[in-house]
Amino acid sequence: MMRLLILGGGAIVTECHLPALRVLGLLSGCTVVEPFEKNASEVRRRFPEVQVLSTGYEEVLGGDLTEHDAVLVALPNSLHFDASQRALKAGRPVLCEKPLAMSAAQCRELDETSKRCGKPIFVGMVRRYLPSLTAMRQGLAAGMVGEIQSIELEDGGVFLWPSDTDTVFRKDQGGVLLGMGVHFLDCLEWLFGQLQPRGYHDDAMGGVEVNCDYRLQTQEGQPVALRISWTHALKNALRVTGTRGVLEMRKSDVTAAHWISNDGQIQAEVKPQKAFASGDWQLTFDACFVEQFWLLDRALRGDCDASQSLVTASQAAHAQELIEWAYQKSKAVLAGSHARPQLPAASVVVTGGTGFVGGHLIERLTELGMTEIVVPVRSFRSAANAARYPVSLRRYDLLDLESCRKVVRGARHVFHLAYGTGGAETAKITVEGTRNMLLACEAEGVESVVVFSTGSVWGAYDSDVDESSPMRPALADYGESKAQMHTETLAFARAQKKMRVSLIAPGAVYGPRGGLFCATACEMAKAGTFAWFDGGKGTCNFVHVSNLVDAAILAASRSEAHAQDFLIVDGQTTWREFFTPMVRPWLDRIHEVDSKAPIIQVSQRRSTLGSVARAVLMSPGLMAEISAHPLLGWFKEKFTRLFPQSHQRVQAMRPSVEYILKPAAASPQPAAWMADIFGVSGPRLSSAKAGLQLGWKPLVSLTDGQAGCVEWLSETQRLPVTEGVQSPS
């Protein structure tokens, strides 16, 4: 039985490695080395058969390893090289999680160490064992696509990895290309041979990349396009186009590849005769880890075929060379505009920095030369976009005053955007969390605090509104809690003698990466659930996210802003004019709703006992169940024999078309909540005070802002094509 020493007890070990080893009956021979008690406790709880050592890997590798047949390295990426080197020099074979190392030179050094020590080292490129990839490789070898013309691989979605530690988006661990791209480059080279790089672009702005676009080619010159995202969905498929058809491997289906003829008229499912050599497992991604450990066990016993089925250090080195080439080509530079408000470089904290507005604020602060930007987070998993910038991610708890003090300590400016977004403590986080943040800033000597409120605290008006108007919050608990927070913050600010505190209250914030007023509307229109209320003539108080960020920078820098609140809107338009460019492909499918009528009409009850009986008789599933029932089936057979003519009349009532016609698809309906936000009534918010006291004015026009939204929606494949903004129809 193979006895593994496993270095690391994080998510990859608990979710993938240990379950696979359990299937093979190898758990009792495993020892997990995990210094963090939270992770170690989780391993003990879920896998009691495993021995757990709560110590550092260096200490264990410096001791006696004779009780272990091999070492599995599952540490943070930056530790892979050191741990693998130590294990090899200690005389143990190694299976290292990807990436093998942080550079091609380190990969080659490990290869040399392996040869010198006479112990093999393999890399955990587990996607090679996907049944769908095996099917694709066999289909290509059989010539199913003919002469290859192009290769495209896209993999994208919101970052969902269960690990929640500060290493997730740390710059020394690499971004999406190193984290996931190394898998895809390995698969592509396994299928098509070594690739040559041609062009690369990513979105890193001093942090890690979370979106990248890599262009390569095969040795025969066929173009290869690789796109990866940690922020939004892509096509999620590997597609090989040739002279005889298309062979496609879909992320949603790991069981098979799919062949499509060039004219699209013929399709076929392609499956391997035997998916796994290790056993007859379910065709899942998890089973690939079983295959990998089975191959490792056989390789350690001297099986050459098993060794050749595992990825070697020299193979990993070439994939790493491609990644290094790409990173050298990525030279993204943020170009700030002198026309925009300025703020001298200083230490800054942005709560809510993982959100839409917070992300744009961090981008502007980076443009302004800020190198000390702290972004407090409740979960590191949500920080993909923020990690693109040179920020320090720190876990905190808004409901704990001391936790708030720690994250603002040493800061000159604090921008507080965080608020409750759901759950039992939503209002508490909004109100008490803001209270804690203000007290923390006061205690730590922060110079200025800008708190983000919302125009919804005046949302129940249907007339002109400015900051002097009494608050009438809309949107139920959200508006009520924001109004309470707003009132408390102003009172706190007026009592301050040293620290400047101000509030900004935006209208409908839109722009690239926006949700409710950009992507959500587009996605709902595509799904058929978007609606115009009374022709879409309701009032939209819009503000482009860049203009809102300008207001925040001005509020932080101007002494006149202290103890003041500012409504921030670019202007007003109708909802129809505002959204039309973003939903243009589906304009003919958008519902028209009368605001005085319910969104979903309730039909009159007109059914009779006879129609119910006919419905029962027309249900083949129900009749089959009756036939199979011991008692009801006996009565049915008795009835058929005793009353043959009556049985024939009953059978005649069942139309034959039920076996032919597809059931009518349910018509999608708009959601009821839309009326509260996109309805007809509403205030006209004024930003005159911000113009007079801060010198603020919107620099991004509505037309340019809409065009930017359309461009981003097209880039993220939410819109079918990139279109220029046209006047609303």
> What are 172-186's pLDDT values in tens digits?
999 999 999 999 999
CA distances (Å), origin 533, targets 528, 561, 587, 674, 679: 15, 38, 14, 9, 6
Per the listing, tokens 């990866």 go with 228
Contact of 381 with 417, CB cutoff 8 Å: no
Cα atoms in the 13 Å half-sphere on the side-chain side of 417 = 22
Contact of 130 with 288, CB cutoff 8 Å: yes
User: Measuring CA to CA, which residue among 152, 151, 139, 129 is closest to residue 269?
Assistant: 139
Strand ranges (DSSP E) for 157-306? 196-202, 211-217, 223-229, 237-242, 245-250, 257-260, 267-270
Pairing of strands 70-73, 94-97: parallel
The pLDDT of residue 167 is: 86
Q: Which two tokens stand for residue 501?
A: 């505190």
Encode burial over 704-714: b for 16+ CB neighbours within 10 A, e otherwise: ebbbbbbbbbe
At 439, which helix (H) or strand (E)? helix 426-443
At 572, which helix (H) or strand (E)? strand 571-574
Sheet holding 311-312, edge to edge: 51-53, 31-33, 4-7, 70-73, 94-97, 121-124, 311-312
Rg (CA), the chain: 31
Q: How far apart are CA 147 and CA 159, in angstroms?
A: 36
Q: Which two tokens stand for residue 2?
A: 């193979």
Decide: helix, strand or coil at residue 241.
strand
Look up the pTM and report it: 0.87
**DSSP label of 601:** P
Decide: helix, strand or coil at residue 643.
coil
Q: How far apart are CA 672 and CA 519, in angstroms?
A: 19
Q: Is 699 exposed, middle or buried (0-12, 13-18, 19+ CB in 10 A)?
A: middle
Q: Which two tokens stand for residue 5?
A: 């020493």
Residues with Cβ within 8 Å of 217's Cβ and at least 6 positions away in sequence, in order, are 195, 196, 198, 223, 224
Pairing of strands 196-202, 211-217: antiparallel
Q: How far apart are CA 625 and CA 370, in angstroms?
A: 70
Q: How far apart are CA 519 and CA 714, in angstroms?
A: 11
> What does the CA dihedral 417, 423, 425, 429 come to, rounded to 10 degrees?
0
The pLDDT of residue 168 is: 85
Per the listing, tokens 């005085």 go with 596
Question: Which residues share a beta bridge with 155?
Answer: 228
Q: How far apart are CA 189 and CA 452, in angstroms?
A: 49
Decide: helix, strand or coil at residue 187.
helix
Crossing angle for the helix pair 426-443 and 476-494, to the nearest 10 degrees: 20
Q: How far apart are CA 536 and CA 587, in angstroms?
A: 12
At 75, which helix (H) or strand (E)? none
Q: Which residues of the chain have pLDDT under 70?
A: 331-337, 597-659, 721-729
Q: How far apart are CA 582 and CA 713, in angstroms?
A: 8
